[in-house]
Amino acid sequence: AQKITQTQPGMFVQEKEAVTLDCTYDTSDPSYGLFWYKQPSSGEMIFLIYQGSYDQQNATEGRYSLNFQKARKSANLVISASQLGDSAMYFCAMREEVGSGSQGNLIFGKGTKLSVKP
């Protein structure tokens, strides 16, 4: 079974509008971290936002916010006021605690390609 599922291979959004990129995860570990990375065509993976499993509040970083619904095991990324420079591949990732079969590595989803239209 996939640990991280991103069901949207591609998404389009109009410039200045908000967009939600979906991510669901699968773990039985109570302690884990969730990450979102952006990968433009240049190749670099850029860290955007982080949510810990024990964090009570949803994470926010500028125009990025994470809609964390623990019971549903979802960690959707919300980008507000989309810009042309937001066009990129977006990866959701999870890190479990070391032990119980996990080496604590970052596990990536398959990604969502976001295209922002002018």
Partner 1 sequence: DTEVTQTPKHLVMGMTNKKSLKCEQHMGHRAMYWYKQKAKKPPELMFVYSYEKLSINESVPSRFSPECPNSSLLNLHLHALQPEDSALYLCASSQVPGDSIYEKLFFGSGTQLSVL
CB of 16: closest distance to partner 1 in angstroms?
27
Closer to partner 1 by CB, 18 or 98: give it. Answer: 98
CB distance 34 to 75 below 8 Å:
yes
β-pairing verdict for 88-96 and 32-39: antiparallel
How many C-beta atoms surround the C-beta of residue 76 within 10 A? 19
Nearer to partner 1, 16 or 50 (CB): 50
Residue ranges in contact with partner 1 by CB under 8 A? 31-33, 35, 37, 42-47, 50, 52-53, 91, 95-98, 103-106, 108-111
- To partner 1, the closest distance from the beta carbon of 89 in angstroms equals 8
Find the shortest distance in angstroms from Cβ 98 to partner 1.
5
Question: Which tokens hold the place of 1?
Answer: 């079974």
Angle at 89 between CA 83 and CA 91, to 5 degrees: 115
